[in-house]
Structure 1
Amino acid sequence: MVRLKNRWLLFEVIFEDTFHVSSSSSSSPPSQKLEALSTRDVYSAIKNSVQINFGDYGVGCIAASISVKYFSPFTNIGVLRISRDHYHIVWGAMTFITQIKTRNCLIRVLHLGGTIKQCQLSAINYDRDQILLLRRQAELRGDTEIVDINELFEQSKNQIMAIE
């Protein structure tokens, strides 16, 4: 029996219109409600980018093995599985993505792993840092509806560990 070898990419989608609080800025967050992304939206954007940048050859190489296993619309991080031989095509195509669903963005690869376990651990650590940052930004804005941080950690950890 042949063992299929994969690479696991942990990535972050950074949007241009994301509100970031700095200590010297007193601007308010955008008033419009932004639509959250789904795993299907991210998958479509990556596949379209491969088609544009690598053509039919690139799509043919990755078609059987690419899969977005996890995407959190709250922290905008995701986990993608791709074959070991063609991960560089997907990584390259991800760097050329400038827009997902009419929102300007860029995708940053945070971790490349050979096993899902190491990618999950990196995702949990990064997710924890992002949740703490979001809570701190909410406190600086004066939001009174700050959710229980331990509950968010547990939900995030459970979702990430459920990836197969």
Structure 2
Amino acid sequence: MKTLLLLRHAKSSWADPARADHDRELNRRGENAAPAMGRFLRDKGLVPNLIWCSTAARTVQTLGLLGRDFANQADVIYSEDLYMANEKTLLECLHQTHDEAESVMMIGHNPGFEDFAAELFGDGDGEALLEMNRKFPTCGLCHFEFDIDHWADVAPDTGRLVRFVKVKDLQAASAAVN
């Protein structure tokens, strides 16, 4: 059994229109969202063994703000190929993952992540799929499981969608508790 976590980067800033897209950093909302998602992942026992991360500033910052567990416990592969990648490129990267990694996170961008998640869906939480198809917001997370031993066996329509999580929902749940 393999676990795949697809995390779209947190909200980025458009304050400097002259800045290259690859170099855009997170805005304040993004800086608050990433740690909230990190806490959720830790609470659910979803700290991955390996992380694929786009080289864009906003994805690298998102990873850094998830928390220490993610830097210390997971190997990280920074790949320029993930920057604005389509679903074919994302699948090719995933196929290169070593099989010792039982849980993998990919941190990247839309529209590629949204398209990739929709392509992977084979069964699972249909309501989460509908929610994801409505909008895959910044710092949104898809949690898939695959009944395979080798990452190279991941194919379209083979993933079981466990959950789709939005930071907005995590924050609303936290506010309701407090």
TM-score by length of 1: 0.28
The structure having more radius of gyration, on CA atoms, is: 1
TM-score by length of 2: 0.27
